[in-house]
Every structure is written in structure tokens, then in C-alpha cells.
């Protein structure tokens, strides 16, 4: 078990080590990613509808007239059709679920999303909102022939308020790109995930993503100050006031955070970004018992409270499994438990 | 305008000064409290219903049979009747609004609250939930003859999880008492208000109180992990899972945070408490322009990021007004703006 002094020392040691032997965190990401890719099958996976024996709802099938409407609304280049073109959008990243959508729409504005949803609602056409499609539980993939509404082109950062740190952007902004954008203003997005290079901030909000920074910056219910969403009817719900202490009426935006698109398609977000930390340090610890993991966690929270940004643990068999399969050597070994502790500030 | 180095220096100076000349923060509280009490009239204020010309809803008036039911449910000592006994509960702290309730009930458990609300709903009796009655906008005071349901006796701390820092308690816990309770476990409630000596945590949640620590610990939407509430029908809504990353279903507890009792009466709360800081330091700064206030705020957030716990400003005329009326000498004077910056950690 580690106390405050030992922790600070271990962090300083690990930081020196990590600079010398490249970045530990990105190594762990690589382990993780490669491991998942290696272990998943690469043949085309079964249709979700067959695999889980689900029945299609009483929705209409898309026809020429519908396509004509969408073409007039978006132009020909923002409608994608054809099985091979939609292959990546009909399956998830792990290749475990598969839908059979034949049309993907790429709106650029809230008004276009509203027009699409209003039309689909009126004509009883099923839809599936899709962000970066990085989810691991199939939520962003169609099950049958739903029209995929992609937020790929809704990637504008509308405003960065340098006084308050509040950033307003469209929901299709890629997390990493948004973080790089706000870095120019000395800010950081209070969210960090393995999928940050392709996941969308709208998807993060719709799934209430926790990520690596949850411990320090809290959940999105705390940092998301505003949400704009379009209901199935096409009605736009504007909860974008972005005032930290706005207590007027019910705080409806919280219902959209984590509701996975079932209440509406999130089109805009206002998020409170903290100042970008000037230094990040890492410690990788080996421990003998699970109780010591808990004690070290409590010690880290109490002694490093202000600067602790991440705290994770790995057990012996998980580390050995990664080591054996990927031939990557962990910095220390022969312990029952391991902890990765990150500080920033 | 102050940069990072100057700020740290100012804070160290101010801390030394504040220890020598007693606590600056509590002085400011005293100014504030005395000022409000001096300026409000001490004669009995007009009935809210007359003042705002509002019409009573079609509710039944309370009768002997109702009283008999409540007496059987709670026993004779937890029903308060009579104008003088209810005086403090029929008016607010500022003496600006006044209701005419004739009965106050003091349940101790969720089951009792449920039985009361179910009965009142069935018999069309209007109710007014009341916590510490410290609100400044009259939300906790009846308008007509509503039955006051007080959370005064619902003050049990049910559990303190020292590993996670999650505290479960009844909604009638007084904020300061709860904070003192968790202090024994090295924790603090992430909320601090001028009214902490009498306000209830349930009222804090129902009004989504921000308080002095908002800057560091965020809003209650981030730190309140669980809520139990009783609907008007008597139905108990249990959102007390208290798991930080619980994303199953819609996160309904957020609707109760800030809804002022209009959706239900909050009976229990699970709140994430951070480790108690080991030192608190204060700086009181004088500044010449409002732009410098903004710049200092940004500098404080970026340079003190990890330990900044509070940041407030006062303008010249406000400080002079307090000085003149209360004969209290501020630590520095003759500036257009003043800032109070607190660090803890």
C-alpha cells in the first residue's frame, strides 16, 4: 500500500521512466486495441435481426419518392446508397452486430436534421442516428433497414468563450479535433477516451461517456451546460443557455445525456472546458492484494486530490494475457494487481 | 491585473493577514447577514395571497377527521397546530412572504411521507414541502392554508462509504451537521452556503443550490449520485443506485434536482463527497477595472486550477455601502473592484 509521500515519489520516478521508454498510456491503448482486433473474428458477422430473432416494426420501406425528397433537401452528394458504401455504417467497430440499411443521410445543420426527422415521422420511415460509430454495444448501428442519419458533417465549433471556458459546437465534432481546437485557447475537453480519434462529442453526450478523466472532471451531467436536440417530430428543443447556475424550469437537457438518441437526435452542445494542464505524470504500481488497491486509491484521492486525473487497476491474469498475446513487456511484473495513476496540473 | 506568481504571493500574504485579523470570510458573512436583517422590515408582512392577488386552488380545507388520521400516523407530538406555533414556518427568513397554514407535519421516514402524500392526494388537500426554510425567494413557504410537510426530523445519515466517498442520508440533514459528520471520515460535502447552519440538504438539491464551492466541485447535477423522492400520489421513486457511471435507462434523478418540490418530495440523497482539504487560504484583492477582474479570474483558473475553490467579486459601491452601514472596516479600500479568491487543498 502506498502513502502520499511514496505516491508522489513513485509518480516522479514513473514519469522519468515513461519519458525514457516512450509513452506508457499509449502503449496500454495499443495493447488494448490490438488485443480486441486480434480476438474478434474477421468474417462478415451475422445480421443482428437474425442473431437475436427480433421482428421489424411496422415501418414503411424507403422508395424512390423518399430518395427524391432527400436529394432535393441535401443535394446528391450527401446521400449515400449501396451495400458496399454502407458496409462500415451497417456494422460496429468490433464486428459483432450488423444492420441492413440502404441509405445514409449527411445533414449539416439543425434545420436539415429537423426536416429529415419531420419527413420520416410523417412517412413512417425508421431512422438510426449515428456519430463516430465507435460504440462497443451496437447502439449506433441499424438493426433492419433504418435510414442512417450521420452527424459526420455537423462538425462546426461555433464559439469558444475564453472568459468562461464554455465551448459551443455541433454534435458531429470529433472529440480529439475538438480538444485540439480548444487547446489554442489554453483549454481542454474534460473527456478522454480510447476512441477519441473518431468518436463524436454528440455520441459521447448521448451515451453519457465516462472516459479516463471522470475522476477529476466528473460526469457529463456536470460539464455539459447546454444541449440542442431534434425530437422525432422534427421539433427542435433548445436547452443551450449554457449558464452554469441556470435554475429556471426543469433541466431537461439531462434527459438527453445518456438517453442514446431515444428521445431525440442531439445536434448542438455547450460544454464547460477546464484550463489545459501544463504537465501530465504517470505512475505504474505493483500491489499484492485487492485491499491495497483500494487503500492506494483512497490515499491517491486524499493526497493527490487536486491533481489526480486518472486511477485504474489491472489484475495479474489480465496483464499476463496481454503480455503473452501481444509480446509487449509491461514496465514491472510479478504482482497480483497493478495500478496506473495519472496526475495533471 | 494579477498573474500566477503574484496571485500565489497575494494568497500567501492574505492568509497570514487573515489569521492575524480573524477570519475574513466569516466577517463577510456577518456583514451580509447583518445588512439583510437591518434592511428588512420587522412588522408582520402582508399575506402573499393578498399581495400578489392569487386565487386559492380548488382544494379541500383541513378538518377534524384529517387531523385524526395524521395523529394516528405520526403520534400527537409530530403534528404542530396553531398560528403562533407556525409563525416561523408561515413566513420566510427575509420576512417578505407569508402563508396561512394551520398544520405542520413532521414525518421521520419515507414511508410516512408516502402515507401523508397519498392521503392528501386522495382527499384533495394541498401541501407545501419545507426544509430549513432558508430560501430567499419564498419557495418553501405556503401561500394559502397548505399543510406544511417538514423534513426537520428526517436527519439520519444512513451510510458513509469511505472507499468511494459516497454518503447516503435523509433529506432533512442540516448541511453543516452533515459536513461535520463526514469530516470524521476525512471527507467534505461539496457544497457551502451562507445558510449552511440551518438549510437542509434536501432543499439544496430541490433548489439546485450552487454556493461558494461551485467553481471547484461543480453543480449538484455532478455530485448528487442518487435521489429518492415521493410523488404526489405517494409513489416512491428510487434513484439511489449511487453508481457514478450508471447509464441504465433515463437518469430521472436529474429532474428532481432544481425542480423545487414540484415533481415530488425528496426524501433521501446519495452525494459524492471529496476528500477534506487540509489547508484553506484566502486572498482579498483590489482592482481598478472590470476587465482586470475578468483577467484575474482567468489567471486564477489557469494558474491555481487544481486548488482554486472560490472566486467572487464586489464593486466599490457595494463595499462602501456595507462599510457605512455596518461600521466594519474592509482589509483594503479605495479600489473600483475587489476580489475574494480562495484556495484549498
Mapping DSSP onto H, E and C, the string for chain A reads CCCHHHHHHHHHHHHHHHHHCCCHHHHHHHHHHHHHHHHCCCCCCCCHHHHCCCCCCCCCCCCHHHHHHHHHHHCHHHEEECHHHHHHHHECCCCCCECCCCEEECCCCHHHHHHHHHHHHHCCCCEEEECCCCCCCCCCCCCCCCEEEECCCCCCEEEEECCCCEEEEECCCEHHHHHHHHHCCCECCCCCCCCCCCCEHHHHHHCCCCCCCHHHHCCHHHHEEEEEEECCCCCEEEECCCCCCCCCCCCCHHHHCCCCCCCCEEEEEEEECCECCCCEEEEEEEECCHHHHHHHHHHHHHHCCCCEEEEEEEEHHHHHHHHHHHCCCCCCCCCCEEEEEEEEC
Name the helix (H) or strand (E) containing B264. none
SS3 state at B231: coil
For A218-239, what is each residue's pLDDT tens digit?
889 989 999 999 999 999 999 9
Q: Which of A214, A258, A301 sits opposite B275 (nearest CB)?
A: A301
Instruction: Identify the pLDDT of residue B39.
Output: 45
Select from B185, B218, B272 the residue whose CB has the most chain A CBs within 10 Å, as the one to mutate to test that interface: B218
Tell me the three cell numbers of residue A94.
468490433
Q: What is the pLDDT of residue B24?
A: 45
What local confidence, expressed as pLDDT, does residue A18 receive?
42
Question: Chain B neighbours among A 206-225 (CB < 8 Å)?
Answer: 207-208, 210, 214, 218-219, 221-223
Taking an 8 Å cut-off on Cβ atoms, the answer to whether A275 and B302 are in contact is yes
- Of B14 and B103, the structure prediction assigns the larger pLDDT to B103
Residue A221 has its nearest CB partner, among B222, B258, B298, at B222
| CA nearest to B145, candidates B129, B130, B125, B131 | B125
User: Looking at residue A19, what is its pLDDT?
Assistant: 40
More confident residue, B78 or B24: B78
pLDDT at B25: 45
CB contact under 8 A, A251 and B250: no
Give A78 to chain B, closest Cα distance, Å. 32
Task: Give the end-to-end CA distance of chain A in Å, rounded to a whole number.
Answer: 24
Question: CA A32, A34, A39 angle in degrees (round to 5)?
Answer: 95
- Strand arrangement of the beta sheet that strand A224-230 belongs to: A157-161, A166-170, A265-272, A224-230, A236-239
Mutate to test the interface with B, among A275, A278, A308 (most CBs of B within 10 A): A275
Contacts of A263 (CB under 8 A, 6+ apart): A229, A231, A255, A256, B250
Distance CA B217, CA B67 (A): 44
Query: Which tens digit of pLDDT belongs to each residue from B289-343?
Result: 999 999 998 888 878 876 788 888 899 998 888 888 887 788 888 899 999 998 8
Contact B214/A254, CB-based, under 8 Å? no
Q: Is A306 in contact with B307 (Cβ distance < 8 A)?
A: yes
The answer to whether residue A8 neighbours chain B at the CB level (below 8 Å) is no
pLDDT at A33 over 70: no
Q: Label residues A299-309 b or e (16+ Cβ within 10 Å = b).
A: bbbbbbbbbbb
Q: CA–CA separation, A176 vs A191, rounded Å?
A: 10
**Mean pLDDT score of chain A:** 86
Q: Which residues of B touch A242 (CB under 8 A)?
A: none
Cβ neighbours of A162 in B, within 8 Å:
298
pLDDT of residue B120: 98
Chain B residues whose beta carbon lies within 8 Å of the beta carbon of residue A247: 207-208, 258
Taking an 8 Å cut-off on Cβ atoms, the answer to whether B223 and A218 are in contact is yes
Residue B54's Cβ-side half-sphere holds a number of Cα atoms within 13 Å equal to 14
Share the mean pLDDT of chain B.
86
Over the stretch A82-117, which tens digit does the pLDDT of each residue have? 889 999 999 998 889 999 999 999 999 999 999 999
Residue in B247, B259, B275 closest to A207 by CB: B247
Q: Which residue's entry shows cell 489557469? A: B302
Cβ contact, residue pair B219, A298, below 8 Å: no
Given an 8 Å threshold on Cβ–Cβ distance, is B245 in contact with A214? yes
Please give the helix or strand (H or E) that residue B115 lies within, else none. helix B110-122
Beta strand pairing status for A127-130 and A166-170?
unpaired
Which chain A residue lies closest to B261 (C-alpha atoms)?
Answer: A250
Give the nearest chain B residue to A272 (CA atoms).
B218
Q: Does the beta-carbon distance from B258 to A277 stay under 8 Å?
A: no
Distance between CA atoms of residues B342 and B174, nearest Å: 24
Residue B140 confidence (pLDDT) above 70: yes
Q: Which residues of A touch B245 (CB under 8 A)?
A: 210, 214, 219
Interchain CB distance below 8 Å, B305 and A345: yes
How far apart, in whole angstroms, are the C-alpha atoms of residue B170 and residue B200?
10
Angstroms from A306 CA to nearest CA on chain B: 5
Q: Which of residues 70-129 of B touch A (CB under 8 A)?
A: none
- Per-residue pLDDT at A20 exceeds 50: no
**Percentage of chain B with pLDDT > 90?**
61
492575524: which residue's cell?
B20
Contact A245 B275 (CB under 8 A): no
Going across the sheet that includes A337-344, the strands are A280-287, A337-344, A308-315
Set of cell numbers at residue A314: 489491472
B113 vs A145, B131, B163, CA distance in Å?
Answer: 49, 13, 31
Residue with the larger pLDDT of the pair B315 and B32: B315
Chain A with chain B: Cβ pairs closer than 8 A: 88
Q: Residues B52-66: pLDDT tens digits?
A: 999 999 999 999 999
- According to DSSP, the residues that pair with A98 across neighbouring strands are A91
Q: What is the DSSP letter of B46?
A: P
A245 touching B, CB under 8 A? yes
| Closest residue by Cα to residue A135 from A224, A84, A209 | A209
Number of C-beta neighbours around residue B292 at 10 A: 19
**Partners of residue B257 in chain A, C-beta under 8 Å:** 251
Q: How many C-beta atoms lie closer than 10 Å to residue A209's C-beta? A: 24
Helix B24-39 and helix B316-326, axial crossing angle in degrees, nearest 10: 70
Lookup result for grid cell 433541466? A251
List the single residue in B with minimal CA-CA distance to A220: B222
pLDDT band for position A5 (cuts 50, 70, 90): low
Rg of chain A, C-alpha, whole Å: 22
Contacting residues for B258 by C-beta, under 8 A, at least 6 apart: A247, A250, A251, B206, B207, B208, B220
Beta bridge pairs of residue B308: B343
- For B251, the closest of A254, A277, A298 (CB atoms) is A254
Nearest CA in chain A to B296: A163
Chain A closest-CA separation from residue B338 CA (Å): 18
Domains of chain B: residue spans and CATH: 4-39+278-344 (3.30.70.2190), 48-150 (3.30.43.10), 157-272 (3.30.465.10)
The interface residues of chain A toward chain B in range 294-313, judged by CB-CB distance below 8 A, are 294, 297-298, 301-302, 305-307
Amino acid at each position: 500500500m502506498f502513502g502520499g509521500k511514496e505516491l508522489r515519489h513513485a509518480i516522479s520516478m514513473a514519469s522519468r521512466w515513461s519519458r525514457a521508454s516512450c509513452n506508457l498510456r499509449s502503449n496500454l491503448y495499443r495493447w488494448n486495441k490490438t488485443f480486441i482486433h486480434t480476438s474478434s473474428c474477421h468474417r462478415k458477422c451475422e445480421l443482428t435481426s437474425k442473431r437475436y430473432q427480433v421482428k421489424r416494426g411496422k415501418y414503411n420501406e424507403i422508395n424512390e419518392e423518399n430518395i427524391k425528397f432527400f436529394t432535393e433537401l441535401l443535394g446528391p452528394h450527401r446521400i449515400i446508397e449501396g451495400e458496399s458504401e454502407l458496409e462500415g455504417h451497417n456494422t460496429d467497430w468490433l464486428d459483432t452486430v450488423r444492420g441492413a440499411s440502404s441509405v445514409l443521410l449527411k445533414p449539416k445543420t439543425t434545420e436539415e436534421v429537423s426536416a429529415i426527422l419531420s419527413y420520416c415521422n410523417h412517412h413512417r420511415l425508421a431512422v438510426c442516428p449515428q456519430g463516430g460509430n465507435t460504440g462497443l454495444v451496437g447502439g449506433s448501428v441499424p438493426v433492419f433497414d433504418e435510414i442512417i442519419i450521420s452527424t459526420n458533417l455537423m462538425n462546426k465549433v461555433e464559439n469558444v468563450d475564453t472568459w468562461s471556458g464554455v465551448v459551443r459546437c455541433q454534435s458531429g465534432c470529433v472529440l480529439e479535433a475538438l480538444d485540439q481546437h480548444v487547446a489554442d485557447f489554453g483549454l481542454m475537453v474534460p473527456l478522454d477516451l480510447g476512441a477519441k480519434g473518431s468518436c463524436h462529442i454528440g455520441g459521447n453526450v448521448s451515451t453519457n461517456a465516462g472516459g479516463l478523466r471522470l475522476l477529476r472532471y466528473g460526469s457529463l451531467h456536470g460539464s455539459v451546460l447546454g444541449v440542442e436536440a431534434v425530437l422525432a417530430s422534427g421539433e427542435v428543443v433548445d436547452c443551450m443557455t449554457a449558464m452554469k447556475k441556470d435554475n429556471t424550469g426543469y433541466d431537461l437537457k439531462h434527459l438527453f445525456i445518456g438517453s442514446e438518441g431515444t428521445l431525440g437526435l442531439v445536434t448542438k452542445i455547450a460544454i464547460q472546458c477546464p484550463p489545459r494542464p501544463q504537465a501530465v505524470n504517470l505512475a505504474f504500481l505493483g500491489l499484492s492484494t485487492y485491499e491495497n488497491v483500494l487503500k492506494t486509491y483512497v490515499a491517491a484521492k486524499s493526497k493527490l486530490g487536486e491533481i489526480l486525473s486518472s486511477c485504474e487497476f489491472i489484475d495479474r491474469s489480465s496483464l499476463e494475457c496481454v503480455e503473452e498475446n501481444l509480446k509487449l513487456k509491461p514496465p514491472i511484473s510479478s504482482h497480483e494487481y497493478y495500478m496506473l495513476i495519472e496526475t495533471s496540473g
